[in-house]
Chains A and B, each alone.
Chain A
Amino acid sequence: MDLHSKGRVVHQAELRVEPVKLTELAAAIGTPHAALTASLVLWFGATIGGDQRLVDALSMDLSRALLSGHRYDWSRPFRPGESIQARLSVEDVYEKGTNHFAVLLTEFHDAAGELVQTQRTTFIERAAA
């Protein structure tokens, strides 16, 4: 893992909260109130840039990498049909023992520039055997 990738912006994109995607996600969750949950967890930050873009930005070895933590901070749920600006960046990269960790920060702002939610995803890359 590249310990100098801290601060790097991996990807920025304008996204639309697609009603059909909310419906698909709610179907995967599969409970009577799943539509509400889907409006909180529609996107998983780390996949927004595409796996390869993320792997390249961190120089991460996927065969030794695991998702170890994920944090959501919500200002409000997503609204069907709205436009969202997403920004994915490397918040931190550090070593602990023989393992490397990377924290990916994804920020979602609405058309008025208001923050809708942030996600922080922690990957652990274990030491090579």
Chain B
Amino acid sequence: MSALSPRRTAPVTRVQIARYAGAVGDFNPIHLDDAFAVAAGLPSVIAHGPLTLALVIDTIVEQVGADGLASFDARLRAPVLPGDELTVEPTADGVEVRRRDNTVVVTATLIQRDGQ
């Protein structure tokens, strides 16, 4: 099992959220329409939860490769907004992810594949 290092993602952008919506076919307006998101009580549109997880998994794939991951079990704790950089900190059994204002947005346990 490889020890992971901390990582920080690039800021999440609205274009990125739109690209993700198109790639997976999830056009829920809470991710794309500010007026809709504000009416729902949010400051702005939010990233899709699975996009946030993909960005977190990407920081792990960078370190162990796609074949090096066996399992990733995440809890989504707070929304991710455009402009947020995600810091991914290793924990005893996974990672903890914070957005720019230090709020924990994701906690996850992960299992690396044997022999990695």
Contacts and interface: CB of A to CB of B under 8 A. Distances in A.
Given A27-B19, A28-B51, A44-B26, A33 B61 contact: yes
Nearest to A23: B23
Interface in B7-46: 10, 16, 19-20, 22-26, 28
B104 interface: no
Given A24-B19, A27-B19, A71-B74, A40 B61 contact: yes
B24 A37 contact: no
Interface stretch (A5-13, A72-80, A87-95): A72-80
A57 interface: no
Given A30-B16, A37-B57, A71 B76 contact: no
A71 B54 contact: no
A29 B58 contact: yes
Contact of B62 (A31, A40, A76): A31
Interface stretch (B63-71, B84-92, B95-103): B63-71
Contacts of B57: 37, 40-41, 72
A32 to B, nearest CB: 8
B20 A25 contact: yes
Given A40-B69, A70-B53, A28 B62 contact: no
A70 B74 contact: yes
A44 B50 contact: yes
Interface of B: 10, 16, 19-20, 22-26, 28, 48-51, 53-55, 57-58, 61-62, 65-67, 69-76
Given A68-B76, A70-B53, A72-B57, 17 more contacts: A24-B22, A28-B22, A28-B54, A29-B55, A33-B61, A37-B54, A37-B61, A40-B57, A41-B50, A41-B53, A44-B48, A44-B50, A67-B50, A70-B50, A72-B73, A73-B71, A74-B71
